[in-house]
Amino acid sequence: MTVTQPDVSVIIGAYEAMPYLVECLASVEAQTIEPARVEVIAVDDGSADGTGEYLEEFAARAPMPVTVIRQENSGGPSGPRNVGLGKAAGRYVFFLDADDRLGPEALERMVAMADRNGTDVVLGRVEGINRKPPQSMWGRTLERTDVYSSNIKFTLSAQKLFRREMLTRHDMRFDESLWTGEDALFTMEAYLRADGVSVIADYTCYYLVGREDGKHVTKRGSYTLRFDSARALMNLIAEMVPPGARRDVLMVRPFAVTLLPQFGPKFLKDSEKIRRHKLELAAPLMAAHWNEGVAQRLKVEDRLRMHLVAGQQPERLLEVLKFTKAKKQPAALLEKKGRRLYLAYPYFRDAEAGIPDSVYLAEPREARAHPGYREGGADFFMRRALRKTRRLLSRRAAPGSSAPGAPRRPNTAAVPPR
């Protein structure tokens, strides 16, 4: 007898998931996709609250095939996900956390989207229940996009549809040495490996549930784990993407989401010992990955904080943090007939501090909020330079020579294998 390959393998890693698991599994059972097109692989990671028993009860009555694996506690979500991935037979896999749930049409819509466009990753709109999920990537449905031209880099959780053939071809697994951020590493690699990504923004596919007992936060622990996560993601990006604007676009994510919070309000409350340690941990990351291309993509306040971290200047960083904690607003200084706008946070044009004006220069997306700003600035000068280049090219530069100021072609190098 021929066994038909399922369209999607739903992988559920569960640890102490009761009673949330009840609604999670009910959402799987309520899927509009035909049960024969789905398989469930559930891994109980050493629970003692009845999670494993409930999974087995579900397997006995579910309309789709369900495999339950019970194992000793691994300490984090990576191990169970990898076990489930090793057992998966579907054309696609979807990682579902045991305390969350799916929208009824989620799997049907995501599989259809991937099949229609030939894309390797599909993001379904996420809504939070007692938790706040990322928002910026749900502006509109995108049949086909990539990690450079959309905001998907700001959602690196694992709750997405992945083409299993892609994962198998690149031997992709979750890094079990990381206690936090392991899903960011996996998902970013998938984005970079993918032949296209789709975004479903007009239907809620996933409900991210905040547990009152806090057990959805696994092994968050020490701040050092955050630096481990940032380091791993930065190194992955540097390994897979050549230097240039494309790499800078992606580096914004670990700087803004993982590193910056360590030098925000909590830094004010840290002991001197922890402050010194955080700066020590940050130093090699700043030296390796912080540059002007990344800096200009951050808001002025964030850019200033990272500049002071890079310069190992904790006292000045503390003054900036106190300024923002007091809800003070920096003065806005317009120059160049309103085409440049500087936000005068602490140490602006302070001779002793010696911080470059460029650190305080607002990019258009931030400057537009201020009256009197005239969009131009860097964009204006770039357009003028391009016009000059076109004029020079039209005069036909001599053979073997290149017109001064000619724009460089964008880097289109393929992603190298890891």
pLDDT digits 0-9 by tens, 15-26: 999 999 999 999
Q: What is the pLDDT of residue 133?
A: 87
pLDDT over 80 at 120, yes or no: yes
8 to 29, 164, 166, 192, 196: CA distances (angstroms): 14, 9, 14, 22, 18
Structure tokens at 225: 């784990």
User: Tokens 């032949």 map to which residue?
Assistant: 195
Nearest to 304 by CA among 271, 350, 336, 270: 350
Whether 183 is a known active-site residue: answer yes
CA 120 to chain centre: 17
Mean local confidence (pLDDT), 203-227 = 79
Arithmetic mean of pLDDT, 280-289: 98
- Cα-atom radius of gyration of the chain, to the nearest Å? 25
Rounded Cα distance, 265 and 101, in Å? 33
Q: Which one of 44, 100, 120, 183 is the catalytic residue?
A: 183
Q: How far is CA 416 from CA 73, 236, 237, 241, 317, in A?
A: 35, 11, 11, 8, 38
At residue 385, the pLDDT reads 57
Is residue 319 within 8 Å of 274, Cβ to Cβ? no
The single-letter code of the amino acid at 137 is: M
**Side-chain half-sphere exposure of 148, counting CA atoms within 13 A:** 14
The C-alpha atoms of residue 318 and residue 310 are separated, in whole angstroms, by: 14
Axis-axis angle for helices 224-240, 245-253 (nearest 10): 160
pLDDT at 157: 95
Single pTM value for the model: 0.86
